[in-house]
């Protein structure tokens, strides 16, 4: 499992989901409340978690249907990996396909990350559909 891959449907407008992936309020609403985001390609966003863990993600791509980050600092197994969100409209709403790829090897840590991403993607879905996600409380 050198790549984590999840897909889900969200009953919300594509622009709402895009905003949840790109602006500070949105990211704090579903991933972690302690976040610093500039939201421009090439800028680095910092995400802090209550456990003391953190990730610094360089924004690689911002398109209306694709958002991609590269981890430049944080847990050693994350550094150099990429996180990609791909959005597409369909009959059920918006299909969100998520991948976290570029891990050097398959480890138990990657499996744990897959579990945590599934939790936070469900939080993203709740946030976009109801306005209330279940983000980490942050530092």
Q: Helix or strand or coil: residue 106?
A: coil
Give pLDDT, residue 46: 97
Give pLDDT, residue 92: 82
Burial of 42 (0-12, 13-18, 19+ CB in 10 A): exposed
Host domain of residue 53: 3-130
Would 139 be classed as within a structural domain?
no
Would 22 be classed as within a structural domain?
yes
Provide the CATH number for the domain around residue 118.
Answer: 3.30.530.20
Say how many domains are in the chain: 1
Tell me the pTM.
0.95
Q: What is the band of 139 on the pLDDT scale with cuts at 50, 70, 90?
A: low
For 64-123, how does the pLDDT look when each residue is reduced to its tens digit (9 = 90+)? 999 999 999 999 999 999 999 999 998 889 999 999 999 999 999 999 999 999 999 999
pLDDT averaged over the chain? Answer: 95
The answer to whether 59 touches 41, Cβ cutoff 8 Å, is: yes
Give pLDDT, residue 57: 98
């Amino acid at each position: 499992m050198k790549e984590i891959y999840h897909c889900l449907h969200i009953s919300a407008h594509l622009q709402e989901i895009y905003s949840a992936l790109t602006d500070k309020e949105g990211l704090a609403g579903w991933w972690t409340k302690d976040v610093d985001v500039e939201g421009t390609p090439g800028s680095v966003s910092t995400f802090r978690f209550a456990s003391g863990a953190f990730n610094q993600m360089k924004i690689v791509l911002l398109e209306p249907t694709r958002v991609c980050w590269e981890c430049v600092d944080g847990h050693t197994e994350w550094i150099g990996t990429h996180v990609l969100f791909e959005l597409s409209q369909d009959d059920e709403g918006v299909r969100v396909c998520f991948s976290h790829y570029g891990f050097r090897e398959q480890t138990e840590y990657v499996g744990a990350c897959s579990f945590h991403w599934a939790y936070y993607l469900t939080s993203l879905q709740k946030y976009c559909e109801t306005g209330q996600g279940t983000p980490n409380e942050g530092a």
